[in-house]
Structure 1
Amino acid sequence: MPLINTSIPNFLGGVSQQPAELRFPEQCEEQENALATVVEGLHKRPHTEHLGVMGSAPSGVAYWHLINRSVDERYAVAISNAGLKVYDFDSPTGIVNTHAADESLVDAADLTYLATTTPDTDIECLTVGDFTWVLNKAIQPKMKSTTSTSRNKEALVFIKAGNYSTDYKITISDDDGSNESVVQYTTQDASSSDNEPDIQTNNIAAALESALTNGVTFAADFNGSLSRSGSLLGTTGLDTDDWTVTREGSVIHIKRDDSADFRIRIEDSVADTKMSVAKDSIQSFTGLPTTAPNGFTVKIVGDPDLSLEGSELGYYVKFETSDGADFAQGVWEETVAPGIEYQLDPVTMPHLLIRKSNGDFLWTPANGATVDHTGTPDATAVSVPGWTDQAAGDGTTNPRPDFAATSAGADGNPIRGISFFQDRLVILSGETTTFSESGQYFNFFRGTVTDLLDTARMSIIAAHPKVSLLDHAVPLNDQLLVFSEVTQFVIRGGQDGTLTPKNVYVTPAGEWESNPTTPPVSVQSSVFFPALRGSSSLIREMFDQSRSNRANFTAPELTAQVPSYIQGTVTKMAVSQTEDTLAVLASGATNTIYIYRWFNSGGNRTQSAWCKFTLSGDGTVIKDIEWIDQALYVVVARTTASDSDVSLEKMDFEPFLVDSPSDFKVLLDRRVINTSLTIGAYDSGADTTTVTLPYAIPDGSTMQAVTRETGGVKGGVTITSSMGSRGTPSGAGGTLVLTGDHTSTPFWVGEAYTMTYTFSKVVLQSGGAQGAPTKVTGGSFRIRHGTLVFGDSGYFKVVCTPVDGISYEYPMSGIVAGDPGVSLGSVVLDGGEFRFPVMADHGQVTIAITNDSPLPSRFMMAEWEALYHTRTRRIRL
């Protein structure tokens, strides 16, 4: 029986759920609390640093959001059912003051917009600068019932030019055509220069005004002739109880005082070119005078000569007098149609969480108010942005956004997601993606309908044979990826990278199922998104594989080798560009962070590995995770005595970190330094020192104290201890009883956790056709010994468990060197080769590496020494 060896070149492959015969040598059966990187090899995962218990944080269902304002200002926002709390990363034990508009701290009455029993899926936040939009998807945005200004029915008659021997005629009647009155003025001929005043437009207008108001009575020096008829009005003019007629220059203003509608028609004997009338609408903007009543509004129904976008559908203009007078010269400005709902209701729209200059926060609807907290310390006034009113067009030329229903709640699609792309706020509703005006994040109406500006708001529908209700929008370089539950779309603009209403377009990017409640995350040129597969979840990586301007997306599954590894529904994903690491939370294992680690080199992915990190303690629930640079911040709820507290912890992935001046890191979760503890007096009788931790200790947690290298004390030595009291959440912290006098000893305290790496079943390979390895399946294959190449390790052990269930443990302990004058020894890390016996058939033994100590361990490769015997000889056909 010949002696052979086979090796594992590295430990970078992560977990595989494939049969061992199909795995790569570097893949394993289990990898828990161990991380493999191309730089450090396989090592015990980074510990968590305790940053603080988050006072009164919701331990139940909640939505969490990170505000990363700067290196010195980072906040965690917790939103529960009608609850809102903000925590500072630097001091998470206290709640950052969050005020309502009435200067008081927010309470339930201020937070009705956040009322939902499922805040984890209904709430979504987006932070840009000092503003955080907070969306409740369960609330339908609406328009306010207030309508734009509607004036009484009125008309303008404009005498544009005066001609000799010309008839100027005004016909007025009720809206049904009854009670018709006709006023006609005919100018004299040009036979005498004395007739010149007769053709002045203001005189013509004065004659018509007088006829309308005073019948046929004129001053003695008045020239021209007047005829007037009408059974209702007779010769006394219009009924002054129902009408008001005024004039300024060549313009006559005719207004119906009782708000009833009326008809008006003008005629002149020069092909109707010397007069114009504006009532409700007018054909051309050029027919309007430069003098008019202040606020007079009219629709321009068509201006083909202007070549303006939308002018063929009409637009509205309102007159603004120059000096604010009631009837004077001024300018016409584009305006909104009268009598329509034109304001978004801020009560139903996403609200704002605004960081104030004094570090406090303001919770408010986006209502445009100025909030001056005069009664608070460090009083600061805040100008709250407001949702911009519709200022032009009507429901056809400038319709309300797809996400906004009428004030009665009709014809609106709820907001399903928000994003930010190319200096525009993005809102998803139904199958529509709506972009705000560029740089104006609160404006979702066009500022003008006479031209389509590049900066204007825009909406685009993702048309597809499948119903595609859009849930998430993820910026990726110069394009926006939009996700529905069954389809993905890409929204792009021009080849120069701009995105305008004139060049925006949407195309399908793929048809992969995705989770509608979990936002995808992007890094570099990829987007990761989850989908549910039975009782577990899969993760895909979506990227553009084309090398041209025409997008060609693909989305290979990253969990193909571990199809049932992620248990339950993915609830949160966070990705680090610094560390090339994806962290995943799922509902099936609430104390677990699933880790996907990758490494690309030369356009190829040389590492694609899954593992998991678990946090100890009964009832431990990881609520949220977020990356900042190389650090993963973790919000954790732990249960003690039927109650829970929520802590903020930090896991630093920076390679080769040490506790200076030591040359290694003490690995304890929830780690705190002795100077942050309450240390009791030394009990000489019992020879113990009791320390009180800043948090409660749940069942299932094992606490340890380890010396910290300082001065004459060497680090890394575990202090003998026993559990005192577990404490209570939001009350007294747990206690640990240390053996000996440690009132002046520098040390760390934290929760022990165990690293486990279980090898795949060892499978013999031989060179196959064209150099490809093939599995050798025949013969007797017994493993005699294994060898681990390790470095910088203080402790680990190899556990071999044959099928009979009796485990054999082979520990490796670092060298402990005594230091004269110091009672505590020092831990010295070791490296080299660690050889251990196996003595079992390759398929009848489980081999694992574990490390339950606070000391590091690191592994580069492994080798197996085995006996192999076969009765036949393999040949290649």
Structure 2
Amino acid sequence: MAVISGSVPNLINGVSQQPFALRLASQAEAQVNGYSSVVEGLTKRPPTKHVARIMGALPAASFVHIINRDVTERYVVVAVDGDLKVFDLAGNEKVVNFPAGKGYLSSARCNFSAVTVADYTFFLNRDMAVAMTEEIKPARGNEAILYFRQGTYAATYTVTIDALDPFTFTTSTTDPAEIQTNAIATRMAGLINANEDFQADVYSSTLHVRRKDGGPFEIKSGDSIGDTAIVCVTKQTQSYVDLPGRAVHGYQCEITGAPGNVFDNYWLEYDASGTGGNDGVWREIAAPGRKIAFDGGTMPHTLVRNGDGTFTFAPAEWAKCGAGSDATTPKPSFVGKTINDIFFYRNRLGFIADEAVIFSRSSAHFNFWRETATQVLDTDPIDVATSHVKVSILRHAVPFNESLLLFSDQTQFMLGASEALTPGTVSLDQVTEFETSPLAKPVGAGSFVYFCTLKGDFTGVREYYLDGVSKTNNANDVTNHVPRYVAAGVFKLAASTNEDILIALSSEKRDTIFVYKFYYSGQEKVQSSWSVWTLDAGCEILNAEFIENTLWLVIKRSDGVYLERMDIEAGKADAGLPYVVHLDRRLTETQVQSLHFDGSTTSFDLPYTESEDGSIVLVSRPGDATYRPGVVVPFQRSGSTLTVKGNLTHFYVGVRYALRYTFSPLLVRLNAAGGGQIANTEGRIQLRRALLNYADTGYFRVHVTPFRRPTFRYPFTGRIVGSGRNLIGEPTLETGSFRFPIMANNMGVEIVIVNDTHLPSRLLNLDWEALYTVRTQRMN
């Protein structure tokens, strides 16, 4: 029997569900409300700070979106079935106008999505299929134009309408005034207008002919100059050069192009507006009779902040079709389908619908129609579908590595392009085959994209990246060592690149935040830590979003919906104190209600209800004349009212929460031949004692529970006899080592570190000592 020692080098690698012999020494059995930092070690997670109660009771389903436009324009949007509210980050409600009503918000599942682009927040109802209205491009009545484009001496000009006698005349052989084309048009108009059934109007060298009763008629023209002097146009002509320079405003004509080819047809309309009816231009239009407008009530709506601080929620003004027919400029493929995601990429607004991704025109975010039917422009909308042997319904779109990563249920596609994203350069290529959860939108973090996968009753998370050596895409499973840890139903991922942290929210555990802390040193990942942060039981976290180093939380409780914040920053301390006061739902004296000093006692009301006895803690803070900073102040409680002796003016009040860290079994580890370490499970390890190293710590206690024996508790109070920091009446933080006994077999004891006070803990590593008995000697 020999006395041996071992160590847990650090406590920053979170939880592992691998068999104990395969775990790293720095991985734990459980970690709750701890923060794994490569700089500070294992600390108690930051507290949540109460901001405001923003709403009363909410129905079971709701949607929350956080707008982060800039440092002064940040808002929380809460949508329920049939209503929407907006709050600033101080909790103040903003006025929202609904000029078109709230019909688009009708969704019992609150199956919404939103994306903010500059001043607009595009709001998407995934349950509503896009439709077209009955609005069509109006067609004009029965009419014709006669274009007199050549005049010459002694030429005969003839116009025949229906079965009437031809209208004909011959120009002079000597008078140059008679051979002017406008004179010829005027002379022919006089002949036609002599018939009481027809009207001919002159536009320079062009006649506009119609029946006075609007009825149909047939018209043809002829001349003695090889039938080249007059062009007769009704509804169609083969070439644009047949059209006159002047015509009646609004005249429509189809350019048919090559015979038998319906894809080179296009429609023109004469626009004489603003020209006094003389000069004008032929403009391309949509084919008369085709549907040209989206039903704005079924398209994504916009939430816009107005200049007076109010908001307007209304249908966007989507552009109408301005060119071509259903064959030459077909409607976008999202029409008739529900839109699964909305995004912004390379100055284009994008939709995902079914197996297609659709982009707006470049720099024209409300226009999904081609500009012309005659050619495809670089600025035109893009509508491209996946090509795969599997049905690939696209769910999410995330910008990644200078391209766009698209997720279907089983496949990932990369939308690539050259320097410019155009209809001619776009391509949609299948790159990887990983199953993806449709619930939580993937989130980018630096050079990675994190997305969820379904694992039965649990959720997996993968880290998508571009391999710099092989130049291929891959996705590592960052939950491979905790396959049954993250609950099913993850609906939100959020990441902070400032702190290298990813969080996940699950509908199965609404009071829990699943936390992934990672750190790369060059290309090597040196930290991959999973743990959980728990809030008060019974609450529901509706949404969480990082803004810089702050995690903003929208939390539903029995008495309403609350906005809270969590400041995640290494080395942060409260003003005037050397540490952060760790109380959830934390308030200062400026946030409580009815603060009053009656000469002997101070009383105030909490702005929330906390039913658990003993959970409320009151701590004085710098500036108070009665109590020293950091002292726990005793109080009497009646409902939400707290009463304190003396004149308490500066304080923190909040709800206590507990850090719990459970060690994996302590093992002898040997250096492996190929590098690293392996666990030696031979022999018997009878643990005697352990030494826990800490820094800047005010409190913790160690629970040692041998198998089938009671739990032994060993507290560290932060006070060391003889220490210069140990001042009476003031909280103190110490740095050192805490020795505690174990006296149990390593496989039959549970060792847990607990801190359920407002004081900080910063735990570095653990050294242990044991009696080791082994029957054989290992030969390497």
Bin the TM-score by the shorter chain: over 0.9
**What residue in structure 2 maps to residue 423 of structure 1?**
347
Q: 2:253 aligns with which of 282, 298, 313?
A: 298
Counterpart of 1:715?
629
- Contact 2:602 / 2:648 at 8 angstroms: preserved in 1? no
Displacement of 1:574: 0.9
Q: Determine the C-alpha separation between the residues in 2 that align with 1:115 and 1:758.
A: 47
Q: Which residue of 1 aligns with 2:491?
A: 571
| CA deviation profile, 1:278-298 (whole Å, cap 9, x unmatched) | 222211111111111011111
1:508 and 2:427 equivalent? no
Q: What is the rounded CA distance, in whole Å, between the counterparts of 2:768 and 2:38 in structure 1?
A: 22
Q: What does residue range 99-178 of structure 1 map to in structure 2 within 5 Å?
A: 99-101=97-99, 110-119=101-110, 122-163=111-152, 168-173=157-162
2:324 aligns with one of 393, 411, 414: 393
1:770 is paired with a residue of what secondary structure?
coil
The alpha carbon displacement at 1:132 in A equals: 1.3
Tell me: CA distance 1:434–1:209, structure 2 relative to 1, closer, same or farther (3 Å): same
C-alpha contact 1:714 1:827 (8 A) present in aligned 2: no
| Cα displacement (A) at 1:274 | 2.8
| Aligned residue number for residue 353 of structure 1 | 303
The reply to whether residue 858 of structure 1 matches residue 780 of structure 2 is no
Q: For residue 203 of structure 1, report the CA deviation from its aligned partner.
A: 4.5
* Aligned equivalents of 1:552, 1:261: Cα separation in 2: 66
Q: What is the CA–CA distance in structure 1 between the aligned matches of 2:166 and 2:720, rounded to whole Å?
A: 116
Q: What is residue 374 of structure 1 aligned with on the other side? A: none
Q: Distance in 2 between matches of 1:477 and 1:700?
A: 52
Shift of 1:855: 0.3
Q: Percent identity?
A: 35
Cα distance, 1:166 vs. partner?
Answer: 5.3
- 2:454 is aligned, of 502, 507, 532, to 532
CA contact (8 A) 1:591 1:620 kept: yes
Q: Is the 8 A contact 2:624 2:651 kept in 1?
A: no
1:113 partner SS: helix
- How far 1:772 moved relative to its partner? 4.0
Partner of 2:204: 249
Instruction: Establish whether residue 637 from structure 1 lines up as the match of residue 556 from structure 2.
Output: yes
TM-score by length of 1: 0.84
The CA deviation at 1:660 is 2.3
Q: What's the CA shift for 1:195?
A: 6.2
1:131 is aligned with what amino acid?
A: Y
Give per-residue Cα distances to partners, 1:33-71, cap 9 Å, x unaligned: 001111111000001111111133636321001112332
**Uncovered stretches (5+) of structure 2, i.e. residues with no partner:** none
Pick closer, same or farther for the CA change 1:284–1:871 going to 2, 3 Å.
same
How much does 1:736 deviate? 3.2
Matched, 1:665 2:580: yes
Q: 1:723 to 1:574 in 2, by over 3 A?
A: same
Where structure 1 has 5 or more consecutive residues not aligned to the other structure, the ranges are 102-108, 174-179, 215-236, 305-309, 367-385, 405-411, 726-733
**Aligned residue number for residue 647 of structure 2:** 743
The answer on 1:205 being equivalent to 2:174 is: no
Would the aligned equivalents of 1:97 and 1:361 in 2 still touch at CA under 8 Å?
Answer: yes
1:263 Cα deviation from its structure 2 partner: 4.3
Q: Please say if residues 714 and 824 of structure 1, whose CA atoms lie closer than 8 Å, have aligned partners that are also in contact.
A: no
> 1-side partners of 2:771 and 2:690: how far apart?
12
Partner in structure 1 of residue 243 of structure 2: 288
- How far did 1:546 drift? 4.6
Say if 1:816 and 1:709 are closer, same or farther in 2 by CA, change over 3 A. farther
After superposition, the Cα gap between the structure-2 partners of 1:735 and 1:836, relative to the gap in structure 1 and judged at 3 Å, is same
- Cα deviation, residue 584, structure 1: 0.7
Give 1:318's aligned residue: 269
- Maintained 8 Å contact 1:59/1:646: no
- Cα deviation, 1:1-46, whole Å, max 9, x if unaligned, reads 1111111111221111111111111111101000111111100000
- From 662, 679, 685, the equivalent of 1:758 is 662
**Once the two structures are superposed, what CA deviation does each residue of 1:672-700 show, in whole Å capped at 9, x if it has no partner?**
1134323454696xxx7543111111447
Equivalent pair of 1:52/1:649 in contact (CA under 8 Å): yes
Backbone CA RMSD of aligned residues: 2.7
Q: CA deviation at 1:181?
A: 5.0
When residues 563 and 657 of structure 1 are mapped into structure 2, their CA distance, relative to the original with a 3 A threshold, is same
| Change in 2 beyond 3 A, CA 1:793/1:513 | same
Partner residue in 1 for 2:66: 66
Contact 2:263 2:328 in 1 (8 A): no
Residues 557, 256 of structure 1: alpha-carbon distance in 2 compared, 3 angstrom cutoff: farther
Cα distance per residue 1:502-549 (max 9 Å; x no partner): 21111112222212232111122221111221111111111222569x
Q: TM-score, normalised by structure 2?
A: 0.94
Q: Is the 2:656–2:757 contact (alpha carbons within 8 Å) kept by the matching residues of 1?
A: yes
Change (3 A) 1:544 1:169: farther
* 1:481 Cα deviation after fit: 1.3
Distance change (3 Å), C-alpha of 1:528 and 1:336: same
> Retained in 1: the 8 A contact 2:413–2:428?
yes
Contact residue 322 and residue 328 of structure 1 kept, 8 A:
no
**SS of match in other structure, 1:21:** helix
After superposition, residues 77-116 of structure 1 pair within 5 angstroms as: 77-90=77-90, 92=91, 94-101=92-99, 110-116=101-107
The answer as to whether partners of 2:698 and 2:731 remain within 8 angstroms in 1 is yes
508, 527, 532: which one aligns with 1:607: 527
Alpha-carbon distance, 1:627 to partner: 0.5
Once the two structures are TM-superposed, the CA of residue 141 in structure 1 deviates from its matched residue by 2.2
In the TM superposition, 1:185-204 aligns within 5 A as 185=168, 187=170, 193-194=173-174, 199-204=179-184
Provide the C-alpha distance between the structure 2 equivalents of 1:8 and 1:269, rounded to a whole number of angstroms: 107
What secondary structure is seen at the aligned counterpart in 2 of 1:415?
coil
Question: Which one-letter code corresponds to 1:828 in the other structure?
Answer: T
Return closer, same or farther for 1:521/1:262 CA change in 2, 3 Å cut-off: farther
Number of aligned positions between the proteins: 776
Matched, 1:5 2:10: no
Corresponding residue number in structure 1 for 2:591: 676
Maintained 8 Å contact 1:147/1:338: yes
Q: 1:818 to 1:621 in 2, by over 3 A?
A: farther
